[in-house]
Amino acid sequence: MLPFVRRVCLVAGVLALTATSRPSAEAPRSFALTNVRIVPVSAPVIERGTVVVVDGLISAVGPSVAVPAGVWRLDGDGATVYPGLFDALSEVALPASASSTAAAPRAAGGGAQPPSAPVARGPGDRPASTPWEHAADALRPDDPRIETWRSGGFTTAMVAPRRGLLPGQGAVINLAGERAGEMVVRTPAAFLMTFDAGGGFRSFPGSLMGAISYLRQVHLDADHAAAAEEAYAQGARGRARPEYDRTVRAVHESRAARRLTLVPAVTAAQVARAVRLGREMQVSVGVYGAHEGYAAAPLLERADVPVLVSAKWPEPGRDADPEADQPLRVLRLRDKAPSTPAALAAAGVRFAFYSDGLGGPADMLAGVRRAIEAGLSRETAVRALTLTPAEIFGIDDRLGSIEPGKIANLVVVRGDLLDKDATVTHVFVDGLVHEVKARAGQKGRDARPDRRPTRTTPAEGATEGGAR
């Protein structure tokens, strides 16, 4: 389409940029979004105002700001603009082998335990450990899921590998870009740790107690190795050469940098365990899953642990036996899990939502609506999709709200973002507008992901009464 035609549209005063799926070089990275309702998240709502973006950064926000000369003027026609939405833990843009839920059991070991891997016999074999791997180094900008999520208003995600005991390190990325490097907002953004080696009981550790003892050992080894390397660097003569161990080195570096360590925890007991282990290992812990967070809110508040709440509320699987026993424990969790965000908010716990394998943005926002029905305020819900995750990952200085100086990740919506019939009309990532594909992620539910062999992760297992 010719730029000339586009200009005509704009002149017509309707915000109807019909951009190609990839923004062309002519698309403006400087523009003024006028006549919009602004939800800055960090400040009160501006009923009618203007957002000015210059070179991909927000330069001014307010009810009456001067539009600099030379920037394009886009009339919002009364639509609402929010900060771009943030999925706090995702596998978008990662190859299937690095993610957990998308991977077939054992078939893809995420580098941790490929099928041909020798069976681990003890902690010295460093089983299911790839903490040196960075999601940022594995990004696939051509992943079609990027567009699916972006079309639903999600401009940002923290993506991380999740297979193995020490799966690797996550990165916050913007959901647009031709090259992996331009997508990355911050890396590493989080350090992942789980209790599931995924190797069955034949390989160490085949049990929860084995997994925890291993993680303890690795953290102790990290202390020792750091001290030994330091001493060796001071004077090598007469000293035994410390062994190079990339697992231990990555653990040590992450801990020294006070990086957020994300641990899966669904039940209150698992939350308590994560908090205790974090304290013991002297790492700053965040938990993800947290469906029983309604019963753990005071503990989380006391320990100042941020929480990533899975928006995939527990429900019987599509393939489940319709007459299967439904224990009260499971029914209670199904019933009360959506009240977790409200309980966390009331207790003053920082929390953000994450997609947890949901098929797309419509499913995720439907999950957030259930939390609202269960008592969460809309304001807090929007914050948990924007500014709070940015705070949790230490990037609230660059995105998460509509403020001057921040990255121009914006979503323009007809109606209220969290209403069922809201329509995302435009998504800006780094100041570039992106076409919203024909309601793909808008009306009704998202297309279901392919049916895959099911294998419950520890988090899901706990929600639906599975193993472990």
Task: Among 69, 241, 322, 438, indicate the residue that binds other proteins (CB under 8 A).
Answer: 322
Host H or E run for residue 261: strand 260-265
Give yes or no for residue 324 binding other proteins (CB under 8 A): yes
CA nearest neighbour of 285 among 194, 396, 197, 356? 194
Contact 204, 122 (CB under 8 A): yes
Place of tokens 């949901």: 358
Q: Judged by CB under 8 A, which of 26, 319, 421, 450 binds other proteins?
A: 319
Q: How does 414-429 read in b/e, with b if 16+ C-beta sit within 10 Å? A: beebbeeebebbbbbb
- Is residue 317 a contact point for other proteins (CB under 8 A)? yes
φ/ψ of 280, rounded to 5, equals -65, -40
Is residue 454 at the binding interface for other proteins, with CB under 8 A as the rule?
Answer: yes
Smallest gap from Cβ 322 to other proteins, in A, equals 7
Binding test (CB under 8 A) with other proteins, winner from 26, 142, 321, 450: 321
- Which residue's CB is nearer to other proteins, number 34 or number 456? 456
- Rounded Cα distance, 13 and 8, in Å: 9
Specify which residues 407 forms β-bridges with: 57
Rule CB under 8 A: choose which of 63, 105, 181, 449 binds other proteins: 105
Distance CA 351, CA 345 (A): 8
The verdict on 329 binding other proteins (CB under 8 A) reads yes
Question: Cis link prior to 322 (omega < 30° from 0)?
Answer: no
Q: Which is nearer to other proteins, 26 or 321 (CB)?
A: 321
- What residues does 174 pair with on adjacent strands? 156
Q: Is 327 in the site for other proteins (CB under 8 A)?
A: yes
Report in angstroms how near the CB of residue 328 gets to other proteins at its nearest: 5
Please report whether residue 467 would count as binding other proteins according to CB under 8 A: yes
- Find the binder of other proteins among 200, 298, 348, 444 (CB under 8 A): 200
Distance in Å, CB of 119 to other proteins, minimum = 11
- How far is 242 from 253, CA to CA, in rounded Å? 17
Stretch that binds other proteins, among 214-222, 235-243, 365-373, 453-461 (CB under 8 A): 453-461
User: Which of 64, 144, 179, 202 contacts other proteins by CB under 8 A?
Assistant: 202
How long a stretch of residues is the chain? 468
Nearest distance from C-beta of residue 104 to other proteins, angstroms: 11
Q: Which is nearer to other proteins, 139 or 165 (CB)?
A: 165
Number of residues that bind other proteins (CB under 8 A): 23
Shortest separation between residue 80's beta carbon and other proteins, angstroms = 42
Residues 348-377 that bind other proteins (CB under 8 A): none
Q: Which stretch binds other proteins (CB under 8 A): 67-75, 312-320, 375-383, 432-440?
A: 312-320
Per rule CB under 8 A, is residue 449 in the interface with other proteins?
A: no
Write down the least CB distance from residue 323 to other proteins, Å. Answer: 5
With binding defined as CB under 8 A, does residue 320 bind other proteins? yes
* Measured torsion, CA atoms of residues 53, 54, 59, 60, in degrees rounded to the nearest 10: -50
Record the tokens describing residue 352, joined without a space: 């953000």
Chosen residue from 122, 201, 239, 258 binding other proteins by CB under 8 A: 201
Task: Kindly report the three-state secondary structure assignment for every residue of 276-290.
Answer: HHHHHHCCEEEEEEC
Nearer to other proteins, 416 or 464 (CB): 464
Q: Which two tokens stand for residue 65?
A: 């700001």
Distance CA 92, CA 254 (A): 23
**Integer Cα distance of 364 and 164 in angstroms:** 25
Nearest distance, CB of residue 461 and other proteins, angstroms? 9
Part of the chain binding other proteins (CB under 8 A), chosen from 76-84, 275-283, 407-415, 452-460: 452-460
Q: Are 23 and 433 in contact (CB under 8 A)?
A: yes
Closer to other proteins by CB, 2 or 467: give it. Answer: 467
Give counts: helices (H), strands (E), the chain: 13, 16
352 closest CA partner among 336, 368, 339: 368
Contacts to other proteins by CB under 8 A: 105-106, 200-202, 317, 319-325, 327-329, 451, 454-456, 465-467
